[in-house]
Structure 1
């Protein structure tokens, strides 16, 4: 345990500062979540002085990127209940499923076969755009085993284009584009990257629309666990059994925890406490990712990932609109 102490103290300090910054008026005005701030601050620390203490801190930092990350994803299930799905109905479930599958496939095709990007980077970006941004990317990283700089690039794309979407969607709403308020909430939840971005976009319109948008988004989050199981199996097949199939047990436990949370057996105050622990663990993992990401590796990534993020952003806005319009017609 002693060998982990220095690294865990470092990522804990970054987490604490990131949380404090996220509560400031400045950060809230820019809609910067503690997760995003953790990787940004970790990146700054990693490129300014981490090399001096890397030998002492490496074990703890890597532990945060591994076990702590998986524990955070697992406990994230306390943010969800099956009752959330019932509130938005089959319309939102079908819309979210279509958007998840289509976005993942389109991202992989454009990223791998047209832009010729690194497969791991494409998988991370596709997962983040398809499901729930940074948290999904962290979950996929545990399956894909990607380097930290690829995680940082994927998260940067989520931050950039998710932030643009956060202000674009309220403007689209003013155009009276043919979607009901309820369906527009589902549109926001099914096509904007991060939960915080979804809430912000919906709240600019009305609290009721924001509620629908967030619940629709949480339906996508629930799809994270089965998606990670599929991704793990697919990667094993794609590599022609060169690696054994590794069941992502943290994803299974994520589902189990969400099911337990749906029963109401656990007191609400304990659920809140466990959800907060999940958030802290994920921030620690993000800080560790940032610390181990070097600026030179981001420069080497070039403009191609940015182009991928932009093209998928266009699909989410335009393709997402037509999918939601079709679902509104189908479900009335």
Structure 2
């Protein structure tokens, strides 16, 4: 069966399973499910990929990926920032900058990880899990194995954190809103913020989701700054090359335009539903294609170091986020 039939089926299956209550309770969104199903297909399929299959896989990983992220912006609005207050924005900014800086420096300098693995893992932990890793991929142009490693570690510790939040809530003296800000500023995935907040109460979940979406909104300026920083780094390290091309991720401007449009225009719920599904389906297709072309042996070769880095960032998120939320909210 050709991939242009298999990939949509896998993507739809991942989206459907993510809506099942027993699955969503674990904070598993459609994206990590799609990459796992894609990996199973890539390992057990007897079909030999031809040039058409390869071309369709590249189309999913490049065009559909960017299209999905642009549409993702319609789920955000600047009114959400105003609703939770400036403290949530400050906490998000501090956590993103701290996690990404520590993750990149420790990953490259201390653990001696490949630069791309360290940056992807740090970006996924700092902002919004798999979606941030996919967006960062457009700037780094890493190997697909590096992307899979980063996503696997982020999903693992993001899921673990989701079970820790209810336990922490029982032992601390925080309001529902402040604890929601804590969850939203530290949870890896949007789905995990929903699941963790829901385990507390409705008010906590609503606040957690809004704060988490503010972190997602910061993905656009993050990608632009990363592109400029990497260009300067490459220019400094390559003195022989006279011309340096700045990689401009144009889809990021589309993402920002979508969020701005959603802030100004009140879209009908039916249109929002279509845009949300289209975004999720496009990103799930990209993840399926990525998983199908990833070999498990290459992940095993990475060893325990990516897990160590992700665990360190997980600890900083849980402890650092709690300290900031307690002090500022």
Alignment TM-score > 0.5, same fold: yes
Counterpart position of 1:172:
168
Deviation, 1:29, is: 4.1
2:114 maps to 1:113: no
Q: Following the alignment from structure 1 to structure 2, what is the Cα–Cα distance between the partners of residues 214 and 16?
A: 24
Whether the aligned pair in 2 keeps the contact of 1:6 and 1:60 (CA below 8 Å) is: no
Counterpart position of 1:70:
66
Tell me the SS of whatever aligns to 2:235. Answer: coil
2:202 maps to 1:201: no
Counterpart position of 2:83:
87
Q: Following the alignment from structure 2 to structure 1, what is the Cα–Cα distance between the partners of residues 182 and 22?
A: 28
Whether the aligned pair in 1 keeps the contact of 2:223 and 2:252 (CA below 8 Å) is: yes
Count of aligned pairs: 323
**Most deviating of 226-235 and 11-20:** 11-20
Counterpart position of 1:306:
307
2:235 maps to 1:260: no
Counterpart position of 2:121:
125
2:139 maps to 1:143: yes
Q: Following the alignment from structure 1 to structure 2, what is the Cα–Cα distance between the partners of residues 145 and 283?
A: 19
Instruction: Render the CA deviation track for 1:274-301: whole Å, top value 9, x for unaligned.
Output: 1210111000011011011111110111
Deviation, 1:265, is: 4.7
Counterpart position of 1:315:
316
Counterpart position of 1:325:
326
Q: Following the alignment from structure 1 to structure 2, what is the Cα–Cα distance between the partners of residues 208 and 27?
A: 22
Tell me the SS of whatever aligns to 2:123. Answer: helix
**TM-score normalised according to structure 2 size:** 0.94
Whether the aligned pair in 2 keeps the contact of 1:46 and 1:292 (CA below 8 Å) is: yes
Q: Following the alignment from structure 1 to structure 2, what is the Cα–Cα distance between the partners of residues 75 and 172?
A: 35
Counterpart position of 1:279:
280
Instruction: Render the CA deviation track for 1:231-277: whole Å, top value 9, x for unaligned.
Output: 11111011116541121110011001100111125333212211210
Deviation, 1:41, is: 0.2
Distance 1:96 1:66, change over 3 A: same
Whether the aligned pair in 1 keeps the contact of 2:27 and 2:162 (CA below 8 Å) is: no
2:261 maps to 1:239: no
Tell me the SS of whatever aligns to 1:266. Answer: coil
**TM-score normalised according to structure 1 size:** 0.93
Whether the aligned pair in 2 keeps the contact of 1:120 and 1:150 (CA below 8 Å) is: yes
Whether the aligned pair in 2 keeps the contact of 1:8 and 1:64 (CA below 8 Å) is: no
Q: Following the alignment from structure 1 to structure 2, what is the Cα–Cα distance between the partners of residues 257 and 103?
A: 27
Counterpart position of 1:189:
184
